[in-house]
Amino acid sequence: MKGKILLAAGIGIGYVLGTRAGREKYDKMKAALDTLWNDPRVQKRVDDAQEFVKDRAPDVAEFLADGAKKIVSQVSGANSAKGAQSTKRSATKTSATSASEKAAAKPATTAK
Q: What is the pLDDT of the chain when averaged over all its residues?
A: 76
pLDDT-based confidence at residue 103 (cuts at 50, 70, 90): low
Best CA proximity match to 61, nearest among 53, 71, 50, 73: 53
Q: What integer is the mean pLDDT of 76-105?
A: 57
Please state the pTM of the whole predicted model: 0.39
Q: How far apart are CA 101 and CA 110, in angstroms?
A: 20
Share of the chain above pLDDT 70, in %: 66
Distances (CA, A) of 29 to 17, 35, 68, 100: 12, 10, 46, 89
User: Are 19 and 26 a contacting pair, CB within 8 Å?
Assistant: yes
| Residue pLDDT, tens place only, 19-55 | 666 778 778 888 998 999 999 999 999 999 999 989 8
Residue 85 has pLDDT above 70, yes or no: no
Query: Domain boundaries in the chain?
Result: 1-38, 41-80
Indicate the DSSP class of residue 106.
S
How many of the other CB atoms lie within 10 Å of CB of 59? Answer: 9
